[in-house]
Structure 1
Amino acid sequence: MSQTASPAPEPWVYLASQSPRRHDLLTQWGVRCEPLLPDPDEDAEALEAVRPAEAPAHYVQRVTRHKLDAAVARLQRRGLPPGPVLCADTTVALGRDILGKPASKADAQRMLQRLAGRSHQVLTAVAVGHKGQVWQALSRSQVTFGEWSSADIRRYVETGEPMGKAGAYGIQGLAGLWVQRISGSYTGIMGLPAFETAQVLRAAGLRLL
């Protein structure tokens, strides 16, 4: 009598990120996400502080690893069942200048005025921790904006879309109307690179399609 093989278990991770884009991308890729967000008394913003003369690639990988370490400690502190923990961080770099999340609308306008009509780098680091091991990867992409008028930038900032986003824009939103070209990973620019994420998840033992 032939036996039917049992289906492979659904891959899942603890997602230590508040980004709805990362959650949506993982869901599209067939990975179930369990949120593992910071406690109210955790100073998550402090982890994103830039050190003097720090290179953008080093910065984004360091921040991601610190976020992962904090998330793994959070998992253990809460007594949750063990499982793979995924963290990611994205930064925008104009040369060696790191453009993080804007602190205000005026800050967002200043950032976008610097990026208008120029090319810049988007770096996204991803890390997975599981069973005492860590796997990491880095995605590098280049984005070129066409010219933005000051009025266009003001109207875009007033939509609220730039707030909470590295470099003060989201490529998947209205800012895409000014993107002349990209080189690299579109999902990496969104905040979670498909290829690199699949690499670290498979290394951690998850079976993906």
Structure 2
Amino acid sequence: MQNLILASSSPRRKELLENLRLTFAVSSSDVDESFDPTLSPEEVVMELAERKAQAVFKDNQEAFVLGSDTIVVANNQILGKPADEAEAVRMLKTLSGSQHEVFTGVSIVSPTSKTRFYEKTEVWFWELTEDEIRSYVQSGEPLDKAGAYGIQQLGSMLVKKINGDYFAVVGLPVARTIRELRKAGYQLPY
């Protein structure tokens, strides 16, 4: 039997894989998430996803290891997870009433193959009031999410429209990931 390991502690990625009825283990690693600022957003997310997958694969060399990373890019600036509420407010003010991109990189490492890819989704926010921003930040939801919002929960009220893969914004482009797992030789239960 093939083992699949999600190299992430993200409850959102875990839920997305559970929704696909896949059997998998979760094993996150403490990798350095700093990156070369000269890299493109695409390269950043693929590099970080691969670091995560490789760190877990090192101790699980018979498994298929899936790593992923998500960033938000607004005005050519990468927005990671906010350090505190004040930074979350600043990020949301930046995103208010404008369009930004969400990049999610995925890396799949197995005994016989290694692949990485990314998905880019364009997201437009409504014009947000100070009260909307403060209320959302006080909910606590934005503090562990790239760009200070989660599209799948309360943050859905901020989003006017998207162009691209909704699930990539959540944290894992599921349809492409399934196809890439198949290509890598992982036997799906369906």
TM-score tier by shorter-chain length is over 0.9
Residues 102-123 of structure 1, C-alpha deviation per residue, up to 9 Å, x if partnerless?
0111011100000000000001
State the partner residue of 1:25: 16
Is 1:51 aligned with 2:42? no
State the partner residue of 2:70: 90
Q: TM-score, normalised by structure 1?
A: 0.85
How many equivalent pairs are there? 189
State the partner residue of 1:191: 171
Q: Percent identity, aligned pairs only?
A: 37
State the partner residue of 1:74: 59
Contact 1:12/1:33 (<8 A) preserved:
yes
Alignment of 1:1-209 (within 5 A): 12-38=3-29, 42=30, 44=31, 47-75=32-60, 82-208=62-188, 209=190
Name structure 1 gaps, 5 residues minimum: 1-8, 77-81
Provide the rounded CA distance (Å) in 2 between the counterparts of 1:205 and 1:62.
22
Name structure 2 gaps, 5 residues minimum: none
Provide the rounded CA distance (Å) in 2 between the counterparts of 1:173 and 1:12.
31
- Look up the equivalent residue of 1:59 and give its one-letter code: V
Contact 2:108/2:116 (<8 A) preserved:
yes
Shift of 1:75: 2.8
Provide the rounded CA distance (Å) in 1 between the counterparts of 2:153 and 2:16.
15
Shift of 1:132: 4.3
Secondary structure of residue in 2 paired with 1:176: helix
Provide the rounded CA distance (Å) in 2 between the counterparts of 1:62 and 1:190.
19
Provide the rounded CA distance (Å) in 2 between the counterparts of 1:12 and 1:144.
38
Q: TM-score, normalised by structure 2?
A: 0.93
Provide the rounded CA distance (Å) in 2 between the counterparts of 1:52 and 1:84.
30
Provide the rounded CA distance (Å) in 2 between the counterparts of 1:48 and 1:147.
31
- Deviating 4+ runs (over 4 angstroms): none
Residues 68-105 of structure 1, C-alpha deviation per residue, up to 9 Å, x if partnerless?
211112335xxxxx211111001101142100010111
Query: Which structure has the greater CA radius of gyration?
Result: 1
Provide the rounded CA distance (Å) in 1 between the counterparts of 2:40 and 2:103.
11
Secondary structure of residue in 1 paired with 2:124: strand
Secondary structure of residue in 1 paired with 2:142: coil
